[in-house]
Amino acid sequence: MAEKKRYGLLEMDEETKRRLDREIRREPFHRVIPEIKEILKEVRKGMPRIIDVHCHPYTKEGWRSLGKFRTHLETYLYGKKGVTPESVTAESPTDEEWVLPFRELGVACIPTAWMADTSQGLGPPYGPDPSYKSNTNDELASLRNRFPDVVIAAWGSVDPWQRQKALEEVERCYKELKLLGIKFQQGGQAFSVADKEIAYPIWDLCQDLGMPVKFHTGFTGMGSGAPGALGLKLKYTMNLIPDFDDVAADFPKLKIIFLHHAEGRDEDACLICRHKGNVYREVSGMWPEYYEINVPRMWYEMNRRQQDKYMFGSEYNLFPLDGILYQHLRKDYREGILEKLFWKNAIHILGEDLERVGVNRKEWKEKLEEV
Ligand SMILES: [Zn+2]
């Protein structure tokens, strides 16, 4: 029998590790690998459900929120050729298929809407794009209402260029749709978080309402590798200091979650997160096996003094939920860190917000009290 080695929480031989590493990259990502489901069941014994604070319903309709960037991502991320909107639709899951991995793997999720009508739909800088269609706040609320066993809450999205209408939509997300907070992809939406005219009024309102916000940080896969990256400028997501830092300082009661790894701005993101008590982080959008190389400071901090600041996100279904979880399990986290990342930190950081939108936190709170 081949010799088994320890990788994080898992024990396996080289051959199995290599095989699983290949299999997790195989599409479709809404189909769970039975072996990984078993591994997770074993490892999670006694653990409540994992909480996924960042994923997208890129379903047969939902993928269109990325428009031409999505057809391009098929080449950039998966190396496909001859991709058309029709082929993306055909290969994307239905809503029912999309929720399956969460149910099978014991994950409660909080997916996000996508609204960039001005910049992506109508243009400029990226439109007009006939393949674009927003993933609306109503659609996200409906997803939550139809699949309450896995979709426990949802993030809204507003288009800052719509000014007054964007502010009204934030209020509607809060009062009528009961969404958890608002997510921004400043690259796709082509705006700066430090824009006093269109962005600051939104932060002001979110702070007043007590709506957390999520900002995309660092490099983005959107447009990557295409000439001119299809027009997308990295300045909107890589302007951490001073811009992101200014927002955190100017709105001290605004809960800000830095999405992804701030690749290219690893040090700045870690420093802001240390300096500003209202800034938290989430770790989706990169295979965890690359953390040490691409974002070494984040990897160091999340295992040490910033261990209470990081939450799990999957970026499913651009990435496979089972594969991402599996890679976390086989990383050498310090003791207790993975449980913080998987659910404890989300309950501490977003607990009152989850309560506001009516999430029953019993399964997690019971476990916290046991400790
Ligand atoms: Zn995302």
| 186 CA from centroid of ligand 1 (Å) | 12
- Asked if the model's pLDDT at residue 1 lies above 70, the reply is no
**Residue 130 domain-assigned (yes or no):** yes
pLDDT digits (tens, 9 = 90+) for 30-64: 999 999 999 999 999 989 999 999 999 999 999 99
Query: What string of DSSP letters covers 127-156?
Result: ---TT---B-HHHHHHHHHH-TTTB---EE
pLDDT above 90: percentage of residues in the chain:
98
Half-sphere exposure of 185 (CA within 13 A, CB side): 26
Q: What is the CATH number of the domain that holds 307?
A: 3.20.20.140
Distance 314 CA to ligand 1 centre (A): 8
* Per-residue pLDDT tens over the stretch 333-353: 999 999 999 999 999 999 999
Tell me, yes or no, whether 150 lies in a domain: yes
| Domain assignment of residue 24, yes or no | no
Question: Measured between alpha carbons, how far is residue 121 from residues 51, 67, 135, 242 in Å?
Answer: 32, 8, 12, 30
Round the average pLDDT of the chain to a whole number and report it. Answer: 97
How far does the centroid of ligand 1 lie from the alpha carbon of residue 1, in Å?
Answer: 42
Instruction: Mention every residue, 6+ apart, whose C-beta is less than 8 A from residue 253.
Output: 207, 210, 278
pTM: 0.97
Q: How far is the CA of 11 from the centre of ligand 1 (A)?
A: 31
pLDDT for res 263: 97
- d(CA 79, CA 115) in angstroms, rounded, equals 27
Whether 371 has a pLDDT exceeding 70, the answer reads no
Task: Establish if 2 belongs to a structural domain.
Answer: no
Distance 54 CA to ligand 1 centre (A): 6
Considering the domain boundaries, does residue 38 fall inside one? Answer: no
Find tokens 């930190």 and name the residue: 345
Q: Inform me whether the pLDDT recorded for 208 exceeds 80.
A: yes
CA of 157 to the centre of ligand 1 (A): 12
Tokens (6 digits) for 351: 């607990």
Evaluate whether residue 7 is within a structural domain: no
According to DSSP, the residues that pair with 7 across neighbouring strands are: 10
Please give the pLDDT value at position 370.
80
The tokens describing 361, both together, are: 């936190």
Mean of the pLDDT values across residues 88-99? 98
- Domain region containing 228: 50-370
Asked if residue 13 has pLDDT above 80, the reply is yes
For ligand 1, the distance from its centroid to the CA atom of residue 200, given in whole angstroms, is 22
**Mean pLDDT for the stretch of residues 89-111:** 98
Q: pLDDT (tens digit, 9 = 90+) per residue, 141-200?
A: 999 999 999 999 999 999 999 999 999 999 999 999 999 999 999 999 999 999 999 999
Distance from residue 3's CA to the centre of ligand 1 (Å)? 38
User: First CA to last CA across the chain, in angstroms?
Assistant: 39
Tell me the pLDDT band of 369, cut-offs 50, 70 and 90: confident
18, part of any domain: no
Number of structural domains (the chain) is 1
Q: Is residue 110 part of a domain?
A: yes
Residue 2, pLDDT score: 81
Q: What angle do CA 323, 316, 297 make, to 5 degrees?
A: 75
Biggest CA-to-CA distance, the chain: 66
